[in-house]
Chains A and B, each alone.
Chain A
Amino acid sequence: DAKTTQPPSMDCAEGRAANLPCNHSTISGNEYVYWYRQIHSQGPQYIIHGLKNNETNEMASLIITEDRKSSTLILPHATLRDTAVYYCIVRPRGTYKYIFGTGTRLKVLA
C-alpha cells in the first residue's frame, strides 16, 4: 500500500491561498488521493478526492502531478475556520481502506 508524506505544520494568512503538499511517490495506478480535515475534537471531514485529473469543488482544488507522485490541496481564500489538521489519504480502488498520512496542522493567522 502506498504511503503519504506531509509537512507537520504550516501557517497561512487569512484571505490568502493555502497550498498543502502531499508526497505519495509509491502510489499505484488504481489508488485514489483523498483529502480530509479534522478540526480540533471533531471527526474528519471530507474535502475532495481525485485519481489523475485536477479536481475542484466548493471547498478546495486538488492538483495532482502528471506522474501522480505528489499532489497539492489548495484552499483559495483561507479563513480562521480553516485552521485544522489536513490529511492526505491514499485509497486503493475497490477497497474500503483509507491509508492516512500523518497530517499537516494548518494554522490560519488573522
Chain B
Amino acid sequence: DTEVTQTPKHLVMGMTNKKSLKCEQHMGHRAMYWYKQKAKKPPELMFVYSYEKLSINESVPSRFSPECPNSSLLNLHLHALQPEDSALYLCASSPGQGPTYEQYFGPGTRLTVT
C-alpha cells in the first residue's frame, strides 16, 4: 500500500464551525506533513510531525490545530476559519528525514469557508 488517503474530499464550513480533516497512511512512514495550496500557487508547508511529535510549525494561526494520534494518522482541526483560508489542504508522508526520502502526497481536501 503506497497511498496517502485524505477525507473528506470536499468540505464547506461556516466561519463559526469546527471541523476536522483526516489523513492516513499505512506505509510505516514516520514523518507526516500538512500543506496549504491556494489556486495557481505552489503548496506551502504548514506543519511537520516526526515520530508523532510536532517538529515544524510554520507560524500557522492557532485556528488550525494539528494532531497526530498515532504513526498512521494525522488530523487537522479547524475552528473559526476565515474565507481566505479556503484552499486545497494536502497531507504528505515520508519514511523519515533522510535526503533520499521523497514525500508521498494525498489527493487533498478542498476546503471552502463561507
> Which A positions have Cβ atoms within 8 angstroms of B?
32, 34, 41-46, 49, 51, 87, 91, 93-98, 100-103
CA distance A71 to B4 in the complex (A): 29
Contacts of A93 in B (CB 8 A): 99
Contacts A96-B33, A100-B43 given; does A42 touch B107 at CB 8 Å: yes
| CA distance in complex: A73, B86 (Å) | 32
Chain B residues with CB under 8 Å of chain A are 4, 31, 33, 41-45, 48, 50, 55-56, 90, 92, 94, 97-100, 102-108
Contact A34/B107 with A43-B92, A96-B55 known, Cβ cut-off 8 Å: no
> Which of chain A's residues have a CB closer than 8 A to the CB of B90?
43-44
Asked if B42 and A100 make an inter-chain contact with CB atoms under 8 angstroms apart, the answer reads: yes
CB contacts (< 8 Å) of B106 on chain A: these are: 43
B31 to chain A, nearest CB (A): 6
Tally of A-B Cβ pairs under 8 angstroms? 53
Distance from A102 Cβ to chain B, minimum over Cβ atoms (Å): 6
Is A97 a contact of B56 with CB atoms below 8 Å? yes
Chain B's nearest CB lies how many Å from the CB of A14? 25
B residues in contact with A32, CB < 8 Å: 99
The answer to whether B102 and A49 touch across the interface, beta carbons within 8 angstroms, is yes
Least CB distance from B76 to A in Å reads: 15
CB pairs A–B below 8 angstroms (22 shown): A41-B107, A42-B107, A42-B108, A43-B4, A43-B105, A44-B92, A45-B105, A46-B103, A46-B104, A49-B100, A49-B102, A91-B99, A94-B97, A96-B31, A96-B48, A96-B55, A96-B94, A97-B48, A98-B103, A102-B41, A102-B42, A103-B42
